[in-house]
């Protein structure tokens, strides 16, 4: 895999990642396998390689089955089958982990059909977005939030697509969610939200629009969970209840970097590479309204800098271990983030 990273051969890298994922899956390292396959999937998607996309979707379906996520397994298998034009029987076969025949899919016929129809209705792009979500969670009803690159929030294996419920605009509700998530315990004032989303409305109309949208967002967030206070209000500030969040890519990204900082060079590479894989793009890059606002810039710049520093540090680690090809690849990636990074330039110069 690392050798292909040094070559101008994304197709070869994607297939190497696919095979490496199979190898580590057989060693029961499901998390690493999923990371390899998600990275391969993004490469196949960029190349519009339908065969590669379909292959990875099948692997992720079987991994979901082994991880006791039967609905997700069926949905992914159905999405893969649509690409391949296979039958419903083939979908059931694809959704079972070959290495774990004892794993059953404990679903009613209605649940199987619902999951199958969901996968069959997905476009290729939607199937890829769904598959890129991290596999497995024990936190039923809690959210898995991706904000590094394309914003994606998943609950119980399903992506939230309609944020405002029946009576509020989805894009505005999504923006409020992003605002609340970014601000965390600092919270968001009503005036901040109305200025962002309804700057041209009279105060009274903007207030009505805000409360209608907030109510719609609350109803969406509180569905399928016992948490009744998804969004709290105290001292004039609205906050997202942290109990809603089961996992976020930002927390995982920063945690892996912090773990790596405590390890020797050789051992640090694995968590550093995991952090690198998590960073799929700038923070909330495609989020409506909020992603284009000044509010997001501080956190976006901070995370981008951490990613840039991570890439240079990875280059340094590989260089220390004598892997000049991998070191050069990381330095070049750092320069793609910031062409003026002097440490990356110096690192490449040292490699000769």
- pLDDT confidence of residue 101: 40
Number of other residues whose CB lies within 10 A of the CB of residue 129: 18
Instruction: For 102-147, give the DSSP string.
Output: T------HHHHHHHHHHHHH--HHHHHHHHHSPP--S-TT-EEEE-
Judged on CB neighbours under 10 Å (0-12, 13-18, 19+), 141 is middle
For helices 203-222 and 190-197, the axis angle rounded to 10 degrees is 100
Q: What is the DSSP letter of 225?
A: S
Q: Which residues have C-beta within 8 Å of that of residue 133, sequence separation ≥ 6?
A: 144, 146, 152, 154, 157, 159
Give φ, ψ of 190 to 5 degrees.
Answer: -60, -40
CATH of domain 162-244: 1.10.10.10
Question: Quick one: pLDDT at residue 87?
Answer: 41
Q: What local confidence, expressed as pLDDT, does residue 242 receive?
A: 93
Q: In this structure, are strands 143-146 and 188-189 parallel, antiparallel, or unpaired?
A: unpaired
d(CA 321, CA 316): 9
* CB of 143 closer than 8 Å to CB of 246: yes
- What's the confidence (pLDDT) of residue 286? 93
Helix (H) / strand (E) containing 14: helix 10-26
Nearest-angstrom CA–CA distance, 115 and 113? 5
> Alpha helices, DSSP H only, in 48-108?
50-66, 70-84, 88-94
Walking along the chain (352 residues) 10 residues at a time, the average pLDDT comes out as 78 92 88 89 88 92 83 86 61 48 56 75 80 57 89 85 86 97 97 97 96 94 81 95 92 93 88 91 95 97 98 96 94 97 96 86
Determine contact, residues 181/241, Cβ cutoff 8 Å.
Answer: no
Q: How far apart are the first and last CA of the chain?
A: 23
Give dist(CA 196, CA 177) in Å, integer.
Answer: 13
Selection from 298, 314, 328, 318 nearest residue 257 by Cα: 314
* DSSP secondary structure code for residue 227 in this structure: -
Residues 6+ apart with CB under 8 A from 299: 182, 283
**DSSP 8-class letter at 25:** H
Domain residue spans of the chain: 2-136, 162-244, 247-351
CATH 1.25.40.10 correct for 247-351: yes
Nearest to 289 by CA among 148, 133, 151: 151
Instruction: Say what the pTM is.
Output: 0.64
Token readout for 280 is 């799929």
pLDDT at position 140 is: 62
284 closest CA partner among 268, 267, 298: 298
Closest CA to 123 of 64, 45, 191, 25: 45
């Amino acid at each position: 895999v690392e050798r292909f990273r040094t070559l101008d051969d994304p197709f070869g890298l994607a297939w190497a990642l696919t095979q490496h994922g199979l190898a580590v899956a057989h060693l029961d390292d499901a998390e690493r396998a999923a990371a390899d396959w998600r990275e391969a999937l993004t490469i196949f998607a960029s190349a519009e390689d339908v065969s590669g996309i379909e292959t990875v979707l099948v692997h992720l379906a079987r991994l979901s089955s082994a991880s006791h996520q039967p609905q997700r397994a069926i949905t992914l298998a159905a999405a893969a089958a649509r690409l391949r034009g296979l039958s419903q029987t083939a979908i059931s076969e694809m959704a079972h982990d070959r290495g774990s025949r004892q794993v059953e899919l404990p679903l009613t016929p209605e649940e199987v059909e619902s999951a199958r129809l969901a996968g069959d209705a997905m476009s290729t792009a939607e199937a890829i977005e769904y598959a890129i979500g991290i596999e497995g969670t024990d936190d039923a009803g809690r959210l898995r939030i991706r904000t590094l690159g394309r914003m994606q929030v998943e609950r119980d294996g399903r992506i939230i697509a309609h944020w405002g419920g029946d009576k509020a605009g989805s894009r505005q509700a999504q923006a409020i969610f992003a605002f609340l998530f970014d601000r965390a315990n600092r919270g968001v004032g009503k005036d901040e939200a109305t200025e962002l989303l309804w700057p041209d409305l009279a105060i009274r109309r903007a207030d009505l629009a805000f409360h209608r949208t907030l109510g719609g967002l609350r109803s969406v967030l509180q569905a399928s969970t016992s948490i009744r206070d998804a969004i709290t209000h105290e001292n004039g500030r609205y906050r997202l209840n942290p109990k809603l969040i089961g996992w976020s890519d930002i927390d995982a990204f920063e945690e892996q970097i912090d773990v790596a900082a405590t390890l020797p060079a050789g051992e640090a590479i694995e968590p550093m590479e995991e952090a690198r894989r998590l960073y799929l793009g700038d923070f909330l890059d495609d989020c409506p309204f909020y992603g284009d606002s000044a509010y997001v810039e501080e956190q976006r710049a901070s995370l981008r800098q951490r990613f840039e520093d991570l890439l240079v540090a990875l280059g340094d680690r590989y260089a220390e271990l004598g892997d000049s090809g991998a070191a050069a690849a990381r330095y070049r990636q750092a320069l793609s983030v910031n062409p003026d990074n002097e440490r990356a330039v110096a690192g490449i110069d040292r490699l000769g």
